């Protein structure tokens, strides 16, 4: 057994070598890229909300406006909900990337730990969201079956 293996077995600790640092750095770069794309997507959704609010007000202010603003109101609320829900995983991913990069470049264990904590939060949010969506699909299927059999 060489010295490294003996040290690992006696301390029960992990060592982050240069190969792992390279993998983490590349992962952080991709996470940062995806977070930036996420923020851009959030910006586009914000623009869509502002457009719907503007169009809803224009249709409402027409003298002969037979167009209902109800679809604009519902879509605005849905887009706002999507913005709020989409913000958290994007934020967690961005914080993961920046803290991992900081931890690797400065050999700062606290930043590295914090980065992995944000990654855990990112996946925890996505997991809970997936459970909620699957539950909603299941309930919708039950409602469809019940209403179809009536």
CA distance 3 to 98: 34
Q: Which residues contact 80 (CB under 8 A, 6 or more apart)?
A: 49
User: Which long-range contacts does 112-115 make (Cβ < 8 Å, 24+ apart)?
Assistant: 112/16, 115/28
Note the pLDDT tens digit of each residue in 21-56: 999 999 999 999 999 999 999 999 999 999 888 877
Q: What is the mean pLDDT of the chain?
A: 88
Note the pLDDT tens digit of each residue in 104-113: 999 999 999 9
Q: Any idea where the domains of the chain sit in the sequence?
A: 3-148
């Amino acid at each position: 057994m060489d010295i490294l293996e003996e040290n690992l077995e006696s301390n029960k600790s992990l060592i982050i070598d240069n190969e792992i640092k390279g993998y983490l750095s590349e992962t952080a770069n991709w996470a940062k890229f995806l977070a930036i794309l996420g923020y851009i997507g959030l910006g586009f959704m914000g623009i869509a909300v502002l457009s719907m609010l503007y169009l809803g007000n224009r249709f409402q202010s027409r003298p002969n406006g037979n167009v209902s603003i109800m679809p604009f109101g519902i879509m605005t609320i849905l887009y706002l909900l999507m913005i709020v829900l989409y913000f958290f995983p994007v934020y967690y991913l961005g914080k993961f990337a920046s803290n991992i990069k900081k931890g690797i470049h400065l050999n700062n264990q606290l930043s590295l730990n914090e980065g992995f904590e944000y990654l855990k939060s990112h996946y925890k949010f996505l997991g809970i969201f997936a459970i909620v969506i699957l539950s909603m699909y299941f309930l919708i299927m039950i409602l469809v079956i019940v209403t179809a059999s009536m």
